[in-house]
A and B are shown apart, each in its own frame.
Chain A
Amino acid sequence: MSIRIAAETPWYDLFSRGARDWLRHNQKVREAVKENLPDLLSGEDVISKPGNRTVLVPVKFLEHARLRLADPGSHQGAGQGQGEPGDVLQPGRERGSEPRDGGTENGEVRFVVEMKIDEIIDWLWEELKLPELKPKRTATMDEPSYVREGWDRHGARSRLDRRKTIKEAVKRRAVQRDPVPITNDDLRFRQLVKRAAPATNAAVIFALDVSGSMDEAQRRLAKTFFFFALQGIRRQYAKVETVFIAHAAEAWEFEESQFFQASSSGGTVSSSALRLAMEVMKTRYDPGRYNVYFFYASDGENAAEDRGAAASSLGELAKLVNYAGYVETGGLATFRPRETQLAEIFTEARAGGKPVGMSHLNSQDDVWRAIREFFREEIKREAA
């Protein structure tokens, strides 16, 4: 009988099979998280909080299911040790308290993945192959700004280019017999010129129908959609401001925190929101200086007598904004005519060549489709 010890690097040291399968598991977890992202992110009001926003995604290990008998509630087993029948080996929990060890039953280990929202968005944009938006480039949009261009021997101290200056000194010292370190002739200053640059300010106006017919699920859908639309725009503009408008028969501007809670039992007059949006643009976000995006979510049921007013307001609004998007929310169970009034209005505006798009949201899954449609369309329109 002999005991072997591998002489060279043994086969099992070449790679770790456990680590290989663990990495594959993590890959599957990431795929699962990705599928649920719209759900995970529609929670708290994450829309406009600036800075290093992160979400914590609690992840359980994936379970490879096996056939198993149903959990009988209480289960029996064999044990070893002291104790008489009836003895309590481990006291029960108080009712309503947390499971022991934070729910780590059967040695279950859970972990939390912290993800930066900006990273997720970048990654989603790549994943969905979404195009980048471009700022409007018109004469009126361009703002003069100073950019660096060229060097001179004279200038303000703050614009001294030290690298360039030293290079000049090196060249001079190479040919001089008794060189001094730096002379005034070596100094180089960066120069500025005035150039017109495209405006990089954007304003996003969200309008939400809060009439009685919009239920909680529909609002959540709208919120998720708004969130991602905003993230897409944030990627492209240095400064993005948001406006939240809720309307029923009348329209009001809200803070974001109250926006999704707002509700009204009144009828639906869409033109009120469109008019308020234009009002806001006139007073605060001059379309000449801002890239304005308008997103509107509604279930599409507008008061019949408002049709004309809404259509003409939309026509006017569409002239001012970069893009106006309309999402129609509604569960599959909702009975609806084939085309709602608002859908008709937006379709007409689109046919008229306006920068308008529309999409339906029935479930969380549709959010991605809708986002993709909007951003694709916007690019196509820009290219045309």
Chain B
Amino acid sequence: MNAKTGDLQHYATEIEALAQRLGLDYYPVDFEMAPASLMTEIAVYGLPVRMPHWSFGVRYIHQLVRQSMGHSKIFEVMFPGDPCRAFLMDSNSLAENTLVTAHVLGHADFSKNNSLFARFHEMAGGNIVEHAAAHANRIQQAIDKVGLERVELVLDAALALESHVDVSGELHRAPYPEFVAEKTKDPLSKFQTRYAQLPGTPEQASLPLGPIKAQVPPHSEYDLLWFIAHYAPELEQWERDIFLMVRSESLYFYPVFACQIMNEGWASYWHARLLREADFLPQPLYLSAIKAHSDVVRPYAADQQAALAVNPYHLGFTLWESIVEKQGLERAREVMRDEDDFGFIRNHLDEALAEQSGLFVYEAAPNDEVKVVTRDLAAVREAILAPKFNYGAPRVAASELKNDGSLTLTHDHASDGRGLDTVRARKVLEYVRRVWRRPVRLVTANDRNEAVELAA
């Protein structure tokens, strides 16, 4: 441990004591210094050790390119759990890492108390990093046993449907009931009974059938990973396993996805506040840390007038500052506990804050012309939230499983507003068909809003 880490250790202990005085409540945080290479991989895979798949290789190169162009700088990554796991970049300055330590405590508080996080924590337990590593290990075993190509086919399908899980459902779901009660017939009316039998014949009591075999799926099933894992006609155990592993990781990522603005804002609010009140920090270090803070929460690059994206750190930070200032910390903690980004933006982003943050809705035409469309509050809110609906994926459900084992997927194009990108949809169907091993069809709409059916 060198002097720099010694200092950081010292500040971290002090900051933690301060955080507890200020009422932050969190599971223990396990900090680890990591080199840039590992931080890049975590940014790409979402987890320190995750299953191998070639698509991560593509993202890895994109990430390296972005980093080399200076478009992307990673400060920290933090995995909620019990204990939380946080990775600090070893090449960052002491000031930056001090800021990051405070920031991570904000995340840790958020992930213990936010109800969405808490629900997933309860379902999945607090050791996702270890679970993901175990998954990677099981997949490696499968590769050793059946070969990379076959495992890759399954991962192609499972990862392509990664977002198609039921986020309001349970991690461990019971299968559909195999039998359901026989449909009770409506009692015949007096008029109907009059002619039901010929006069003089003895009354025939029809025997009750008892429970009858249930339809699969009994309703449109949006949890595609679960459905394929349990109802694909010829899935082997290790293939089923892969689908369920991808599903559990996907469910783990959901709270982070659905609370990004709140969570980053909360952590930014706390790192700013903790640093402000940390009188034990030397002045120059405090200044550099606050400089790093203002880089993180600035809405758009200094040399530009606007950005075609919303910085979640900035937006969240602005909203939390205002909530704490106007309604007090107590109320802010309640909001933090109860909302996700949908409620947070709709209930707490008001005219004044939207104007202060310079939020607008833009439109990019096919010839790349970009125009500001409106600054109307309702439109701005929905534009921010649009990419977050349904885990960012189109609403596609398993709607029918025929006797020959063929599967029909139905895209709810009415609620999504338009049909699917058919080129990609065909590819995904092909991935699915290879594991389903029976014909798979997908019903969606074309650009004239007529129903079309893709088949693979």
Contact = CB atoms under 8 A, between A and B. Distances in A.
Interface stretch (B48-56, B120-128, B202-210): B48-56
B57 A21 contact: yes
Given A18-B40, A76-B383, A82-B306, A67 B48 contact: no
A21 B63 CA distance: 13
B65 A92 contact: no
Interface stretch (A1-9, A281-289, A310-318, A345-353): A1-9
A79 B310 contact: yes
A30 interface: no
A24 B52 contact: yes
A83 B419 CA distance: 32
Interface string B20-64: 000000001111111101101100110011101111111011111
B178 interface: no
Contact of A99 (B148, B358, B368): B368
A51 interface: no
A59 to B, nearest CB: 12
B9 interface: yes
A261 to B, nearest CB: 35
Contact of A66 (B65, B383, B428): B428
A64 B422 contact: no
B308 A87 contact: no
Chain B interface residue number, banded: 35 or more
Given A21-B53, A70-B422, A88 B58 contact: no
B420 to A, nearest CB: 6
Contacts of B383: 76-78
Given A13-B35, A67-B396, A76-B363, A81 B425 contact: no
B330 interface: no
B451 interface: no
Contact of B362 (A13, A26, A79): A79
Interface string B147-168: 0100000001001111110000
Given A12-B38, A25-B57, A85-B374, A73 B5 contact: no
Interface string A75-118: 11111111111111111110100011000000101000000000
A109 B61 contact: yes
Contacts of A85: 360, 372-375
Interface string A10-46: 1011001111111111101000000000000000000
B420 A90 contact: no
A2 B31 contact: yes
B368 A65 contact: no
A81 B368 contact: no
Contacts of A84: 372, 375
B342 interface: no
B58 A83 contact: no
Interface string A350-369: 00000000000000000000
B236 interface: no
A243 B31 CA distance: 74
Chain A interface residue number, banded: 35 or more
A79 B33 contact: no
A64 B307 contact: no
Contact of A12 (B34, B371, B386): B34
B361 A80 contact: no
B134 interface: no
A254 interface: no
Nearest to A111: B61
A68 interface: yes
Nearest to A99: B368
Contacts of B156: 64
A62 interface: yes
Given A3-B5, A3-B32, A71-B421, A24 B57 contact: yes
B427 interface: yes
Contact of B364 (A61, A75, A83): A75
| Chain B interface SS verdict (over half) | mixed
A5 B371 contact: no
B427 to A, nearest CB: 4
B58 A80 contact: no
Q: A67, A71, A73, A88 — which one has the most chain B CB atoms within 10 A of its CB?
A: A67
Contact of A5 (B1, B12, B148): B1
B321 to A, nearest CB: 16
Contacts of B64: 18
A16 B55 CA distance: 15
Contacts of B55: 21, 25, 62, 64
A80 B394 contact: no
Contacts of A95: 367
Contact of A80 (B310, B369, B431): B310
B65 A109 contact: yes
Interface in B351-405: 357-375, 380, 383-384, 386-387, 393-394, 396
B160 A65 contact: yes
B367 to A, nearest CB: 4
B41 A90 contact: no
B363 A78 contact: no
A68 B368 contact: no
A75 B367 CA distance: 11
A68 to B, nearest CB: 5
A118 B357 CA distance: 60
A359 to B, nearest CB: 31
Contacts of B368: 90, 92-93, 99-100
B54 A21 contact: yes
7 contacts: A18-B45, A26-B57, A70-B418, A70-B421, A78-B380, A79-B306, A81-B360
Interface of A: 1-6, 10, 12-13, 16-26, 28, 61-93, 95, 99-100, 107, 109
Given A22-B58, A24-B148, 11 more contacts: A4-B31, A5-B33, A18-B56, A20-B57, A63-B58, A67-B164, A67-B411, A70-B422, A83-B372, A89-B308, A92-B365
Interface of B: 1, 5, 8-9, 12-13, 16, 28-35, 37-38, 40-41, 44-45, 48-50, 52-58, 60-66, 88, 90, 148, 156, 159-164, 299-300, 304-311, 314-315, 357-375, 380, 383-384, 386-387, 393-394, 396, 411, 416-425, 427-428, 431, 447
Q: Which 9 A-B pairs have the closest CB atoms?
A: A81-B306, A92-B369, A21-B57, A18-B60, A22-B57, A64-B55, A65-B427, A78-B383, A25-B57
